[in-house]
Amino acid sequence: MSATLLMSGLYMLYQAGSNKSLDAATILIGGAVCFTVGVMTLTSAVRSILWHRKMLRHAIAKDYWTSVH
C-alpha cells in the first residue's frame, strides 16, 4: 500500500510540474499528500517490523534461559 501511495504521489507531482493549468495546484497538493502518507505508512511498517523482531528475540532468549536453568 505504501509503495502504491509513493508511486502515485510521485507521478502526480511529476504531472503537476509539467502541467501549467489551474488544475496543477490541485494535482500538486494531491501528490504531496499521497507521497507524505506513503512515507509515513512505510516508516510505520518498518518500525513495527523491527519492534516485533526485537520482542520475538527477547521472548526466545527468555524461554531459552528458563529451560536451561
Q: What is the pLDDT along the chain (69 residues), one digit of tens a residue?
A: 788 888 999 998 888 888 766 688 888 888 899 999 999 999 999 999 999 988 888 777 666 566 655
Domain count, the chain: 1
Cα–Cα distance measured from residue 3 to residue 28, given in angstroms and rounded to the nearest whole number: 18
Cα–Cα distance measured from residue 52 to residue 14, given in angstroms and rounded to the nearest whole number: 36
> Can you give the residue range of the structural domain that contains 45?
2-68
Q: How crowded is residue 16: how many other Cβ atoms within 10 Å of its Cβ? A: 20
In this structure, what DSSP letter does residue 64 have?
Answer: H
Cα–Cα distance measured from residue 18 to residue 24, given in angstroms and rounded to the nearest whole number: 8
- Which residue in the block uniquely carries the three cell numbers 526466545? 60
**Entry pTM:** 0.69
